[in-house]
């Protein structure tokens, strides 16, 4: 029996099985990397197919990581739509049918607020929307709480609507995502918020944390209201991290931050994201970088940025200015791969994110195995005959990077980035 830690993350899914056909035959199965294996179709386990390699060896393999032909074969053999572990998204739209949405509007019903409990003595006020639970240190006006909830719910709607294929699920089997709002910056820092930040998603406890000052709140009597400085920027960025929590283990830091910067740059007002205005949003950001920070679009060494480990990223972000520069470079890269690379439809990036989703599905399947036992502190045990997915921070984030590079030398990609941005009127430097 082996004991490992999963760094505070947890995955859960309901299992169900589809019986294998009576006359199964050996066939060649191909994964998203082109590797092949001979095996029999032995049924389904959640969103994994059971591949019978021999009389005494059957393994589960995520359907999302198989070729389109194999997925079609599974659909035909089961004679029933293949079920998914993603309970909020029972079927996945094929990559070739995914589109970039024009506008994304939050459903009105999802922002209906319920006050769960309010205790001034304990400095604890709990509110709920459809997908989030908020704990505040002070009482919030109904209009403020609704505005905050609307931003959270709208961001969730946006992330699910983008063609990245993200399935937003609360961690640890919880019914809702958690957020904590702190009355002062000191309270926020005492709760673990980084001093140089205006808000953060903490993976250690799966809670989004933000101080009132970052929300532009002011106190009138005993209740907080929003003032003219109210901003959604930090909210959208960190909420994106929270919604993509299961995927972060398998993403390099530049994609983690770049996707959050991408959602933050989209024009937003009153629960509506104008996602078709991504180009204008990017150009506006580039202008602000130059005006406020003196930063000109410069990605620097492309290979170094795209292959940077977590430790290397932290070292590169040694000051607030350097951190902002790293975020800007990552935003430029994610935007390029989403809208300027290859066919201009972001196909490679979508394929990459689908491969990452396959890793998430494999992890969900692993933790759904009744032989895997959870322990306190995020640890777990499993028998030696099964192998957990790769969760190593130095290897897992780069496993599928080849889908993005498509065997192109980094120098060639750098030249294509320069030309791609030139086509939309932006001068971007990259090595």
With a cut of 90, say whether residue 356 has pLDDT above it: yes
Assigned domain for 77 exists: yes
Q: Do the beta carbons of residue 211 and residue 197 sit within 8 Å?
A: no
Pick from 366, 403, 396, 408: nearest CA to 13: 366
Evaluate whether residue 379 is within a structural domain: no
Other CB atoms closer than 10 Å to residue 299's CB: what's the count? Answer: 24
The pair of three-digit structure tokens given for residue 248, joined into one six-digit string: 């972060």
* Domain range for 85: 2-96
pLDDT in tens, 259-288: 999 999 999 998 999 999 999 999 999 999
- pLDDT category at 121 given cuts 50, 70, 90 is very high
Predicted local distance difference test score (pLDDT) of residue 127: 94
Most confident of 55-59, 115-119, 302-306: 302-306
**Does the pTM exceed 0.85?**
no
Look at the chain and report how many structural domains it folds into.
1
pLDDT exceeds cutoff 70 at 12: no
Max CA-CA distance within the chain? 75
At 207, give phi and psi (nearest 5°).
-125, 135
pLDDT in tens, 59-93: 888 887 788 778 878 776 654 444 444 434 447 88
Q: Environment class of residue 307 by beta-carbon count within 10 Å: exposed (0-12), middle (13-18) or buried (19+)?
A: middle
CA distance 95 to 427: 31
Using a pLDDT cut of 90, give the percent of the chain over it.
55
Q: Is the pLDDT of residue 18 over 60?
A: no
> In this structure, is residue 50 part of a structural domain?
yes
**Residue 347 CB neighbour total at 10 angstroms:** 16
User: 222 or 365: whose pLDDT is higher?
Assistant: 365
Residue 224 main-chain phi, psi, to 5 deg: -95, 140
- Tell me if 365 sits within 8 A of 85, measured CB to CB: yes
For 355, the token pair is 């491969």
Q: What CATH number is attached to the domain comprising 20?
A: 2.30.30.700
172-215 tens-digit pLDDT:
778 999 999 999 999 999 999 998 788 899 888 899 999 988 88
Closest by Cα among 56, 54, 94 to 75: 94
In a domain, 148, yes or no: no
Confidence of residue 107 (pLDDT cuts 50, 70, 90): very high
- Does 10 reside within a domain? yes
Coil, helix or strand for 227?
coil
Residue 176, in any domain of the structure: no
pLDDT (mean) for 235-262: 95
User: Does residue 7 belong to any structural domain of this protein?
Assistant: yes
Residue 333 lies in a domain: no
Question: Could you tell me where the beta strands, DSSP code E, fall in 113-242?
Answer: 114-119, 124-128, 132-136, 177-182, 200-202, 207-211, 217-220, 223-226
Of the listed ranges 90-94, 239-243, 269-273, 402-406, the least confidently predicted one is: 90-94
Q: Supply the pLDDT for residue 57.
A: 77
The pLDDT tens digits of the residues spanning 150-183 come to 999 999 999 999 999 999 999 877 899 999 999 9
């Amino acid at each position: 029996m082996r004991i490992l830690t999963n760094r505070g993350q947890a995955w859960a899914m309901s299992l169900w099985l589809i019986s294998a056909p009576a006359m199964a035959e050996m066939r060649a199965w191909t994964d998203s990397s082109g590797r092949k294996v001979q095996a029999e179709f032995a049924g389904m386990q959640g969103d994994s197919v059971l591949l019978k390699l021999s009389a005494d060896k059957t393994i589960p393999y995520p359907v999302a990581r198989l070729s389109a032909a194999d997925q079609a074969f599974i659909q035909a053999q089961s004679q029933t739509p293949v079920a998914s572990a993603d309970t909020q998204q029972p079927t996945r739209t094929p990559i070739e049918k995914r589109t970039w949405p024009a506008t994304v509007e939050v459903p009105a019903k999802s922002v209906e607020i319920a006050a769960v409990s309010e205790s001034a003595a304990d400095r604890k006020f709990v509110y709920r929307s459809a997908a989030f639970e908020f704990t505040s240190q002070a009482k919030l006006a109904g209009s403020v709480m609704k505005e905050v909830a609307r931003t959270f719910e709208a961001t969730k709607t946006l992330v699910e609507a983008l063609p990245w294929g993200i399935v937003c699920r609360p961690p640890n089997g919880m019914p809702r995502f958690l957020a904590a709002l702190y009355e002062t910056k000191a309270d926020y820092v005492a709760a673990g918020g980084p001093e140089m930040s205006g808000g953060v998603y903490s993976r250690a406890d799966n809670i989004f944390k933000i101080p009132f000052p970052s929300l532009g709140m002011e106190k009138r009597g005993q209740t907080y209201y929003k003032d003219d400085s109210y901003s959604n920027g930090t909210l959208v960025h960190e909420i994106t991290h929270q919604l993509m929590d299961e995927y972060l283990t398998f993403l390099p830091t530049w994609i983690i931050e770049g996707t959050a910067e991408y959602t933050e740059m989209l024009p937003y007002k009153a629960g509506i994201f104008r996602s078709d205005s991504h180009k204008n949003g990017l150009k506006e950001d580039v202008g602000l970088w130059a005006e406020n920070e003196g930063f000109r679009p410069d990605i620097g060494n492309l290979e170094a940025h795209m292959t940077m480990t977590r430790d290397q990223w932290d070292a590169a972000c040694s000051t607030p200015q350097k951190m902002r520069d790293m975020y800007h470079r990552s935003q430029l890269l994610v935007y390029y791969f989403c809208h300027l690379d290859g066919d201009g439809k972001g196909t490679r990036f979508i394929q990459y994110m689908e491969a990452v989703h396959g890793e998430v599905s494999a992890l969900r399947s692993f933790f759904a195995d009744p032989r895997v036992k959870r322990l306190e502190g995020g640890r777990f045990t499993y028998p030696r005959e099964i192998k957990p997915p790769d969760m190593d921070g130095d290897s897992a984030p780069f496993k599928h990077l080849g889908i993005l590079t498509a065997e192109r030398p980094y120098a060639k990609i750098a030249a294509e980035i320069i030309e791609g941005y030139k086509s939309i009127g932006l001068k971007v430097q990259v090595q």
